[in-house]
A and B are shown apart, each in its own frame.
Chain A
Amino acid sequence: MGATKQFNPDFHIIEIGGTIGDIESLPFIEAIRQYKAEMGYGNAISIHCTLLPYLPTSGELKTKPSQHSVNVLRSYGIQPEILLCRTSKPIPKTEREKLALFCSISKDAVIECRDMKTIYEVPLALEEQGLCQVALKMLGVRDKKPDLKSWEKLVDKIKHPTKSIKVGIAGKYTKLSDAYISVVESLKHAGYADSASIEIKWINSEDCVDYECCKKELADIQAVVVPGGFGVRGIEGKLNVIRYARENNLPFLGLCLGLQCTVIEYARNVLKLTDANSKEFDDNPTDPVIDMMLDQKHIKGYGGTMRLGAYDCHLKKGTVAYKAYGKDVVSERHRHRYEVNFEYIEKLSKAGLVFSGMSPDGMLTEIVELPKLDWFVACQFHPEFKSRPDRPHPLFKGLVDAAVKRLNN
């Protein structure tokens, strides 16, 4: 609760991870109980989210799992004030009344949350269901008219795309899309601005180790992203993806490890340093174009030890990156342990790779690009963390713009 003291907000929303009934979350649940008791009625409420499964055989939404779940929560001493039900169908009046009665929740506090086309529609749907009104009433706070105009406009735009583009994401964790959720969202945000819906093609980098297979994987997409990651698995596949993008002018964005792979690929195939590699993957390559950052070399353990968080990046005037951002200095979030080996920057530059963004001291590579291609940019940082639905990140915007252009041609 230290955050409340520090920021003193009107409202503090606290989400408890996990599912009620798991033993791991018990200490947090007990903390809520104590807090609610101490704060007194009207100062703290809890919202319990449940699922109403639909049984096609009986054509019913079933309320029993929700009732049980509320019972478990009660056994911990917490009576939720609001029940929020995820459902694929509208909740009939009788089921709503049943839930209210058996969960001891007022009828207007049983809130329906239907599956939406886009997650950004959820605030509007919950507003329509009166979630905020009910919560404010229970907390004794005056309701005000919300200003949701720009959000409504955004959702309208999301729901009415005029074109569809296919963007590949080539990574190691493609079976679980949550592993790259911010990357996916950033691509979508950029699509919204162009009225384009984005279809993601998940490309397992291990399937691209063979160049012919890689070509086939990339044949039907308009752009490709090589996102961040760690470890050697799938690296050769990522290098193939980048080579294909570079040789075929396929719009490309490399993130973090994606930048490091871009540099390795350029060193190997353009500079002809065939043994160029990162010290992360090879202890002693002939050409260590990617090396551990100097201040990282003494660190032995993993976890919380990387170069983390926001750092400034200086952009070189006239470059693609500079034009995209429209300013000299940008702040971006980082999470890495390795960097481009400074000793190779001159050689790589001479061979045509443009170093368009550097750390303020000019030592650490932040952005590289090939300006002759439609969009070929890689960055050491993670732009995906700063994209907003109504304000796409310039680097994702550039990629999607180029993809749209490719689609039209």
Chain B
Amino acid sequence: MTKYIFVTGGVVSSLGKGIVAASLGRLLRSRGYSVINQKFDPYINVDPGTMSPFQHGEVFVTDDGAETDLDLGHYERFTDTSLGKYNNVTSGSVY
């Protein structure tokens, strides 16, 4: 059965939660376990494609053509995987 690990952040933003989540992914993988890294983003836009890079940073594009949060870039680089549209969920895509 799949086990869930949620990562939240407090006190200030830009704490590097993404790097922590990516690092944990790496550590579990290096033990031979399979891992999915996913990011939930609480903004109303369906994707960050049209948000200003000044506010949001880079738009990371996946193989399946999703415009996603830059943390997915960390996930891919740390865990050496190829992610897709399922790996980034936004409020805008839920409602």
Contact = CB atoms under 8 A, between A and B. Distances in A.
B91 to A, nearest CB: 7
Contacts of B26: 123, 151
Contacts of B78: 120, 123
A244 interface: no
Interface range for B: 35 or more
Contact of B3 (A7, A73, A139, A385): A139
A179 B57 CA distance: 4
A18 to B, nearest CB: 5
Contact of A132 (B19, B24, B38): B24
A178 B35 contact: no
Given A15-B17, A304-B46, A131 B24 contact: yes
Interface in A161-215: 173, 175-176, 178-182, 185
A287 B74 CA distance: 41
Given A25-B42, A145-B31, A47 B6 contact: yes
Interface string B60-76: 11111111011101101
Contact of A185 (B37, B47, B77): B77
Contacts, number: 281
A15 B71 contact: yes
Q: Looking at chain A's contact residues, is the secondary structure mostly helix, strand, loop, or mixed?
A: mixed
A52 to B, nearest CB: 9
Contact of B6 (A16, A126, A180): A16
A10 B10 contact: no
A59 interface: no
Interface of A: 2-4, 6-22, 24-25, 27-29, 32, 35-36, 39, 43-51, 65-66, 69-70, 72-73, 78, 80, 84, 86, 113, 119-120, 122-123, 126-127, 131-132, 135, 139, 141, 143-148, 151, 173, 175-176, 178-182, 185, 302-304, 306, 308-310, 331, 333-335, 382, 385, 387-391
Interface of B: 1-13, 15-21, 23-28, 30-43, 46-47, 49-50, 53-54, 57-67, 69-71, 73-74, 76-78, 80, 86-87, 91, 94
Given A45-B5, A135-B24, A304-B46, 8 more contacts: A15-B21, A16-B7, A66-B10, A123-B26, A132-B24, A141-B33, A304-B47, A388-B76
The 4 closest A-B pairs by CB, nearest first: A309-B65, A69-B10, A178-B57, A308-B65
16 contacts: A9-B2, A11-B28, A14-B6, A19-B10, A20-B8, A22-B42, A28-B91, A86-B15, A122-B16, A135-B5, A146-B30, A182-B58, A303-B49, A333-B62, A388-B76, A388-B77
